[in-house]
Amino acid sequence: MRFRIIRSHRKTMSLEIRDEEIIVRAPVLATRREIDRFVESHKGWIEKRLAIIEERKALAESLDPLTKEELQTLREEAKKHIPERVAHYASIIGVTYGNITIRCQKTRWGSCSAKGNLNFNCLLMLTPPEVIDSVVVHELCHRKEMNHSRSFYAEVIKAFPEYRKWDKWLKENGRNILMRVK
């Protein structure tokens, strides 16, 4: 099994798989034998992760990409629907916000800038309404906490008690939606 080693001033070893490449992060003084043993002891995990990556690639190739027309329709729907949801939840959470921008992105569902500007992915329109609300609430709560601390998530849950359920749905299904953008 081939892998790349990144040495640094750390105390433990870790594994990462990025774009099908196996990366081992190791302490500067770790021997090659120790690293090889570490990789071998995690062979099952590595094989499982690589199999998942292959499954996802196969799925991505089988999905029909969205056309420019379909993406434009999703953008227009999002421009009407998402600002309504933002206004609704902003009053519940007790925050203000700046501009709302709708984009078609390959990796993110939403973001909040330090100035309070909100960005949302038009592909949210392909998800259940509760997922849209969960992303809207998540971004609006960044107006109170610009981090992902416990207090941030407490604000999210207070505004949208089913957040964890719909965030899980997005984690499990969102990748298949994002893969439709070529």
Span of 19-23, 59-63, 83-87 with lowest mean pLDDT: 59-63
Q: How far apart (Å, rounded) are the C-alpha atoms in residues 155 and 160?
A: 9
Question: To the nearest whole number, what is the mean pLDDT of the chain?
Answer: 94
Please indicate, yes or no, whether residues 36 and 118 belong to a single structural domain of this protein: no
Tell me the helix, strand and coil percentages in the chain, rounded to 5.
55, 15, 30
Please indicate, yes or no, whether residues 107 and 154 belong to a single structural domain of this protein: yes
* Residue 60 banded pLDDT, cuts 50, 70, 90: low
The two three-digit tokens of residue 103, written as one number: 């984009």
Please indicate, yes or no, whether residues 36 and 125 belong to a single structural domain of this protein: no
Residue 150 belongs to what domain range?
A: 68-178
Please indicate, yes or no, whether residues 20 and 77 belong to a single structural domain of this protein: no
Last residue of a domain, one of 43, 62, 81: 62
Please indicate, yes or no, whether residues 89 and 135 belong to a single structural domain of this protein: yes
Residues forming a β-bridge with 17: 22
Please indicate, yes or no, whether residues 85 and 173 belong to a single structural domain of this protein: yes
Please indicate, yes or no, whether residues 107 and 53 belong to a single structural domain of this protein: no
Please indicate, yes or no, whether residues 108 and 20 belong to a single structural domain of this protein: no
Last residue of a domain, one of 62, 80, 112: 62
Last residue of a domain, one of 62, 94, 110: 62
Quote the pTM value: 0.73
Please indicate, yes or no, whether residues 148 and 168 belong to a single structural domain of this protein: yes
Closest CA to 79 of 121, 113, 117: 121
Please indicate, yes or no, whether residues 36 and 88 belong to a single structural domain of this protein: no
CATH of the domain at 167: 3.30.2010.10
Using the predicted structure, report yes or no on whether residue 26 has a pLDDT greater than 80: yes
Please indicate, yes or no, whether residues 122 and 143 belong to a single structural domain of this protein: yes
Closest CA to 180 of 121, 75, 106, 101: 106
Please indicate, yes or no, whether residues 132 and 170 belong to a single structural domain of this protein: yes
Say how many domains are in the chain: 2
- Run of H or E including 21: strand 21-27
Does 140 or 53 have the greater pLDDT score? 140
DSSP 63: S
- pLDDT, tens digit, for every residue of 63-79? 788 999 999 999 999 99
Computed on alpha carbons and rounded to an integer, the radius of gyration of the chain in Å comes to 20
The letter for the amino acid at 160 is F
